[in-house]
């Protein structure tokens, strides 16, 4: 009853094919976006911004990138951490080599560098698929992290091998470096996330997205109806790595402040893959839901015993956290293998019919 | 340019020819390391063949088995009793995994099952640490870790024992698969799930059996690794090293796992010793993956894997 589209007639193709064809959806999403931009920037506590919201947005962008590759184009990748590292290091090199360059331009350029690297490591996908490809992308992960560790040029010959984000401003506001306020960094992160989420949403609704899905569902059949596997797969690798690269740049510049190659290790790749699977393969909304889930669960688990008044040794708590985290992943996979996005879809269907059963 | 070519293509081979005993030692070290990878890869292959599950938890199963064995021995049990108890624990684990993880996820996409095994990895790692503590433990099952020389080449008793054990294990598995009733059922399931079901092979039992066998392989691997470098949590990372072994050998081939392991082990050691210094060393971490990647471009199904035939 609340959520009813009766009486909303579409008189043009454009209105019928809008991203949110239902009026209520449109208003809710717009209100949510406005709230997401304004409320935390103005009111959020530093802890929430720094420990929850900023990493959430960055992970969501990385998950979006991986979702393009794995969820839409069907190419399983375990090299996300490696591609994020390319973005992070490229952003560091660009920002220090060209101090006058706007930091947003630096992010986009480092995304392009990551896209180039992604294209190279995407070439084997033309011959191999499935888990064989997943293992092949691990080569990217290990090789890239070794490269950034070994070649001192990437960290500007810093003896510790650490890259540190220099201070940069956007429109006169300090957004990176140690003196940037969490609010300013959050504003950049959410701006980037909204722009690219919109971009991907439009991409996957169009010709490109359909080609990706055709390749995913049955590549030989797709080839026969005229989808070119070479271009389609490489495009997916390029765009996916582009998004992961930007996420990696943000990871260093907006979240960590300074990083070593260990920050981009294999666990990061798995974490982002978890977000995509838990959120929902082939869903833009799912990338965000999955990222929120994976960011929130460890924080919740770390604080739950205190809230319940239980006190336990730190080591035991760590082990329990690991077990509960693993158990929750199993639980969600068993209950809803199609992810949180699917749950949301079901809820929406139910809301449209409520209070009637059919 | 010429000196670079010389350094890459000539000098390493001259080094090899110049010191044959050293080369032999490097090769033997590589084979020993490769056997360990093979043993982990073997566990993967068994499970992948029978259930199509890409079991990332194999590495942590090795760790869990070794931890259980050490923990029980520290409680004062004799080696034989502790070993039997560990076998019982791994079989119980196989039952648990089948009931809790595999059965509800039957017919799901392979990637979902793969993710489930990563979730399982977290659970087992936390459980193992909670039960037995996080310290590095010495595993002593009575195999001496000493070296001796044969024809000027340094050999290690422990590594020889590991090689012998691996050979016996593979032989036993081959007999088990080829000659026993249940082995035949396993091969039938690996060939075609539906056909196997239709002639009355119980899938659930088969899954418990393969996960148990993989658990037993994990115990053997755990003992070998544990005796060599202590039981510690880095053991679960060897799962990652087993992956290039798998793609070299093919996901579905037991001999492939062994040969792949040997190729990766020796290739990695040779690369590190002779070509590593050129690029600053520590290439062991990615060398195997690059080898596998290049290899895959030419032979996508691995050395011994079944030919991938695609139909629309």
CATH of the domain at B107: 1.10.3470
Averaged pLDDT for residues B225-246: 74
pLDDT band, residue A200 (cuts 50/70/90) = very high
Whether A6 shows a pLDDT value over 90: the answer reads no
Of B134, B290, B312, the CB nearest to A143: B290
Q: What is the least distance, in Å, from the CA of A269 to any CA of chain B?
A: 12
Whether B234 shows a pLDDT value over 90: the answer reads no
Q: Does B246 touch chain A (CB under 8 A)?
A: yes
Residue B254: inside a domain, yes or no?
yes
| Tens-place pLDDT, residues A230-255 | 899 999 999 999 999 999 999 999 88
Q: Half-sphere exposure (CA, 13 Å, Cβ side) for A329?
A: 27
Helical segments of chain A, H only: 13-16, 23-43, 46-47, 54-66, 80-97, 103-122, 131-150, 182-205, 207-217, 219-224, 229-250, 266-279, 284-307, 314-335, 340-353
Contact B217, B42 (CB under 8 A): yes
pLDDT band, residue A208 (cuts 50/70/90) = very high
Averaged pLDDT for residues A27-38: 86
Q: How many domains does chain B have?
A: 1
What pLDDT was estimated at residue A14?
85
Whether B103 shows a pLDDT value over 80: the answer reads yes
Q: Half-sphere exposure (CA, 13 Å, Cβ side) for A173?
A: 11
CB contact under 8 A, A322 and B283: no
Residue A198: inside a domain, yes or no?
yes
Residue B311: inside a domain, yes or no?
no
What pLDDT was estimated at residue B282?
67
Residue A338: inside a domain, yes or no?
no
| Tens-place pLDDT, residues B142-177 | 666 666 666 666 667 777 777 788 788 888 887 887
Which residues have a Cβ under 8 Å from the Cβ of A322 and sit 6 or more positions away? B122, B123, B125, B126, B129
State ipTM: 0.80
What pLDDT was estimated at residue A297?
85
Percent over 70 (pLDDT), chain A: 99
Residue A351: inside a domain, yes or no?
no
Residue A312: inside a domain, yes or no?
no
DSSP 3-state of B177: helix
Residue A339: inside a domain, yes or no?
no
Expressed as residue numbers, the domain containing B15 is 2-298
Whether B270 shows a pLDDT value over 70: the answer reads yes
pLDDT band, residue B68 (cuts 50/70/90) = confident
Phi, psi for residue A178 in degrees, rounded to 5: -65, -25
Q: Identify which has the larger pLDDT, A330 or B157.
A: A330
CB contact under 8 A, B110 and A131: yes
Residue B131: inside a domain, yes or no?
yes
Residue A282: inside a domain, yes or no?
no
Give just the sign of the alpha carbon dihedral B96, B99, B101, B102: positive
Phi, psi for residue A18 in degrees, rounded to 5: -65, 160
What pLDDT was estimated at residue B147?
66
For B119, name the nearest residue in chain A, comparing CA atoms only: A326
Structure-token pair, residue A285: 């909304």
Of A128, A327, A337, the CB nearest to B300: A128
What pLDDT was estimated at residue A61?
95
CB contact under 8 A, B119 and A334: no
pTM of the model: 0.86
Percent over 90 (pLDDT), chain A: 31
pLDDT band, residue B192 (cuts 50/70/90) = confident
Residue B305: inside a domain, yes or no?
no
Averaged pLDDT for residues B128-153: 68
Q: Does B109 touch chain A (CB under 8 A)?
A: yes
Q: How many domains does chain A have?
A: 1
| Tens-place pLDDT, residues B27-64 | 888 887 888 888 888 888 888 877 778 888 888 888 88
Residue A314: inside a domain, yes or no?
no
Q: Does B292 touch chain A (CB under 8 A)?
A: yes
CB contact under 8 A, B290 and A139: yes
């Amino acid at each position: 009853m609340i959520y009813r589209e009766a009486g909303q007639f579409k008189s043009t193709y454009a209105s019928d094919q809008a991203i949110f064809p239902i009026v209520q959806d449109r208003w809710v999403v717009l209100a949510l976006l406005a709230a997401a931009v304004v409320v935390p920037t103005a009111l959020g506590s530093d802890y929430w911004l720094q420990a929850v919201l900023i990493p959430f947005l960055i992970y969501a962008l990385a998950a979006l990138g991986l979702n393009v590759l794995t969820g839409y184009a069907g190419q399983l990748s375990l090299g996300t951490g490696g591609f994020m590292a390319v973005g992070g290091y490229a952003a560091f090199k660009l920002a220090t080599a060209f101090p006058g360059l706007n930091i947003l331009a630096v992010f986009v350029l480092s995304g392009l560098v990551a896209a180039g690297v992604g294209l190279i490591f995407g070439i084997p996908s033309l011959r191999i698929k499935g888990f064989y490809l997943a293992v092949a992308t691990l080569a990217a992960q290990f090789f890239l992290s070794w490269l950034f560790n070994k070649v001192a040029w990437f960290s500007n010959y810093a003896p510790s091998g650490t890259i540190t984000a220099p201070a940069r401003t956007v429109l006169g506001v300090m957004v990176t470096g140690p003196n940037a306020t969490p609010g300013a960094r959050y504003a950049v992160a959410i701006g980037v996330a909204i722009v690219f989420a919109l971009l991907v949403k439009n991409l996957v609704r169009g010709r490109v997205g359909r080609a990706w899905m055709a390749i995913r569902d049955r590549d030989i059949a797709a080839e026969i109806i005229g989808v070119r596997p070479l271009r389609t797969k490489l495009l997916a690798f390029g765009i996916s790595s582009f998004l992961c690269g930007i996420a990696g740049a943000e990871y260093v510049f907006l979240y960590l402040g300074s990083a070593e190659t260990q920050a981009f290790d294999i666990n990061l790749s798995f974490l982002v893959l978890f977000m995509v699977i838990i959120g929902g393969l082939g869903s833009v909304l799912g990338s965000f839901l999955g990222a929120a889930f994976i960011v929130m669960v460890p924080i919740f688990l770390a604080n739950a015993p205190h809230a319940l008044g239980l006190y336990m040794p730190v080591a035991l708590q760590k082990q329990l956290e690991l077990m509960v985290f693993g158990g929750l992943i199993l639980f969600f996979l068993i209950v809803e293998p199609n992810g949180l996005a699917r749950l949301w879809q079901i809820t929406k269907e139910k809301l449209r019919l409520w209070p009637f059963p059919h | 340019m010429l000196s670079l070519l010389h350094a890459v293509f000539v000098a390493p081979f001259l080094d090899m020819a110049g010191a044959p005993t050293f080369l032999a030692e490097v090769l033997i070290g590589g084979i020993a390391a490769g056997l360990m990878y093979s043993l982990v890869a073997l566990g993967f292959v068994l499970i992948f063949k029978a259930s199509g599950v890409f079991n990332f938890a194999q590495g942590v199963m090795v760790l869990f088995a070794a931890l259980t064995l050490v923990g029980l021995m520290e409680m004062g049990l004799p080696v034989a009793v502790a070993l039997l108890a560990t076998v019982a624990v791994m079989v119980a684990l196989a039952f648990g995994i089948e009931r809790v993880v595999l059965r509800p996820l039957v017919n799901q996409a392979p990637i979902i099952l793969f993710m489930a095994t990563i979730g399982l990895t977290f659970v087992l790692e936390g459980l193992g640490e909670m039960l037995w503590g996080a310290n590095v433990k010495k595993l002593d099952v009575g195999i001496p870790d000493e070296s001796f020389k044969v024809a000027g080449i340094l050999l290690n008793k422990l590594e020889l024992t590991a090689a012998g054990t691996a050979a016996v294990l593979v032989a036993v598995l081959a007999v088990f698969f080829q000659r026993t009733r249940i082995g035949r059922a396993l091969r039938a399931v690996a060939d075609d799930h539906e056909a196997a079901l239709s002639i009355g092979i119980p899938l659930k039992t088969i899954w418990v059996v393969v996960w148990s066998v993989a658990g037993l392989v994990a115990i053997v691997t755990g003992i070998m690794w544990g005796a060599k470098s202590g039981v510690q949590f880095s053991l679960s990372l060897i799962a990652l090293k087993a992956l290039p072994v798998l793609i070299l050998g093919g996901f579905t081939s037991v001999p492939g796992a062994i040969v792949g392991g040997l190729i990766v082990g020796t290739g990695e050691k040779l690369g590190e010793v002779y070509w590593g210094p050129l690029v600053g060393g520590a290439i062991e971490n990615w060398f195997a993956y690059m080898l596998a990647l290049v290899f895959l471009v030419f032979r996508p199904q691995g050395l011994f894997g079944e030919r991938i035939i695609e139909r629309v």
